[in-house]
Amino acid sequence: MASKELMDLLNQAIAREIQVSIQYMWQHVLWKGVKGFAVKEEFEKIAIEEMKHAEAIAERLAYLGGTPTTKPAPIFVGETLKEMLEQDVKDEEKAIELYRKIIKKAQEEEDYTTARLFRKILQDEEEHHDTFTGLLEDL
């Protein structure tokens, strides 16, 4: 059985995934302008990936006997494309740090399924970070 600490970490991950899925989707909807055309589809694509992460983590938490949160972490849409992307880079960095911590904790508890799930999600988050960092360089 998973520890309370690991289940709390999974709920933090769910809150984060809900946050960025809303944040990125609203950025997709609200962004206008020439530079935005290159970014709009990326925001939408990544928002959908983040919601799928939230679902997968919630399913895992429920399997472990926990109750998935429905409350997102604080959402920051931003006013300018640069502001949006700077925030998104920070949010992805926080996710990478959190998910490495979850992988370590899951391995300590011999919960290899949770560790494997988060290794896959971590790979996606690193790709998102790379995408946002690259888009930010062009501004």
Can you tell me the distance from the alpha carbon of 29 to that of 40, in angstroms, rounded to the nearest whole number? 8
Please give the DSSP secondary-structure letter assigned to residue 69: -
Look up the CATH number of the domain holding residue 39: 1.20.1260.10
How many Cβ atoms from other residues are within 10 Å of residue 47's Cβ?
Answer: 19
- List the structure tokens of 11: 């709920």
Structure confidence at residue 138 (pLDDT): 73
Evaluate whether 116 touches 27 at the Cβ level (below 8 Å).
no
Evaluate whether 119 touches 56 at the Cβ level (below 8 Å).
no
Reply yes or no on whether the pLDDT at 36 is more than 80: no
Pick the range with the lowest mean pLDDT from 16-20, 35-39, 54-58. Answer: 35-39
Percent residues over pLDDT 90 in the chain: 83
On average, the pLDDT of the chain sits at 94
The runs of H, that is alpha helices, within 31-110 are: 34-63, 81-108
Higher pLDDT, 117 or 137: 117
Q: What is the value of pTM for the model shown? A: 0.95
Can you tell me the distance from the alpha carbon of 62 to that of 23, in angstroms, rounded to the nearest whole number? 25
Evaluate whether 77 touches 27 at the Cβ level (below 8 Å).
yes
Number of domains in the chain: 1
- List the structure tokens of 66: 């926990």
**Which residue range forms the structural domain that includes residue 34?**
4-137
